[in-house]
Amino acid sequence: MSTGTGVRVTEPPAHPAPRKLAGPRFRPGETAFRLLLLCCLAVGIIFLGVLITYVLVEAWPRLDSRLWENFPSIRRPENAGAQSAIFGTIWVIAFTALFCLPTGIMAAIYLEEYADQNRWYNRMIELNIQNLAAVPSIIYGILGLGLLARELDLGTTVLTASLTLSLLVLPVVIIASREAIRAVPQSIRQASLALGATQWQTIWRQVLPAAVPGIATGSILALSRAIGEAAPLLLLGAVTYVAFNPEGLESAYTVLPIQIFGWISQSREEFHHLAAAGIVILLAILLLMNAAAIWLRNRFSKRW
């Protein structure tokens, strides 16, 4: 377009009208799959709620101080308790943690920070750890019975149970610790080494503090698995009736899963109420351990 002054002015080209974004397409298959997942989740939650409600109703007559103040009794179930099983569980799990946690964490540090992945024996170690994590617990009970109780002549003691459960959860601790250490960014290691720190100083002061949430969570969940195991201890000869608390590593013992198994085996209804009360105590201990894992994860977690 020309003006009166002789200057030609071009008009800007007209912009096309913006396209309307199409709404989300309806996919029947995706919707049906999501509904199927929600139904599976609902079924699991409903059954869990029904089981917990049933256990609480059955245990209600015996949820009192007698449960943790009295020792087990075969003749008088109305006054029986689970003090020896509670203290036996604490003893066994405490020494299980003492044996397996340092070993598992140090093994994870070696495999992640020091091991040469090109070496065949390191690959063999990793393969064996992954395979051992899926071995049924009854196999560890057979191993503990044949090697620890009989070959090493440790007998049916707290030490034998702790070592057997340590072998059971050790692969889980190693795998969880390795994942936590691997999640620490490489830039932190490189910055520490660039400032003159040694590899061990970098691991001790930078990597491990950053990996504490994952290591603690995995360790507590592994111990939560160990605290509910009954099959390995039954093979080791753990007795269902113990009227005293353990006094050392060489003491006889019983634990809550074994005591619950013994009460359920009885025919009288009072013992069934006791078994349900023991299940409630065991669930309470597991919830406390899981709550501690969640607290540690939230307390020490870092965002990179």
Among residues 228, 220, 211, the alpha carbon closest in space to that of 291 is found at 220
Among residues 85, 77, 87, the alpha carbon closest in space to that of 272 is found at 77
- The pLDDT of residue 3 is above 60: no
- pLDDT confidence bin for 22, thresholds 50/70/90: low
Q: Per-residue pLDDT tens for 108-129?
A: 999 888 888 778 888 888 888 8
Tokens found for residue 276: 């349900």
- pLDDT confidence bin for 12, thresholds 50/70/90: low
Task: Decide if 114 contacts 202 (C-beta within 8 A).
Answer: no
Tokens found for residue 115: 């091991």
Q: Per-residue pLDDT tens for 47-59?
A: 999 999 999 988 8
- pLDDT confidence bin for 46, thresholds 50/70/90: very high
Q: Per-residue pLDDT tens for 165-175?
A: 999 999 999 99
- What domains, with CATH codes, occur in the chain? 85-300 (1.10.3720.10)
Q: Per-residue pLDDT tens for 223-267?
A: 888 888 888 888 887 766 777 788 888 888 888 888 888 888 888
Tokens found for residue 244: 């005293």
The per-residue pLDDT of the chain, averaged, comes to: 84
Mean pLDDT, rounded, for 85-93: 89
Backbone angles phi, psi at 65, to 5 degrees: -65, -20
pLDDT of residue 30: 84
User: In the chain, which residue ranges form alpha helices assigned H by DSSP?
Assistant: 28-59, 66-69, 83-109, 120-132, 137-143, 158-182, 186-194, 199-202, 208-227, 231-235, 256-264, 269-300
Mean pLDDT, rounded, for 286-292: 85
- pTM of this structure: 0.80
Count of CB atoms situated within 10 Å of the CB of 146? 12
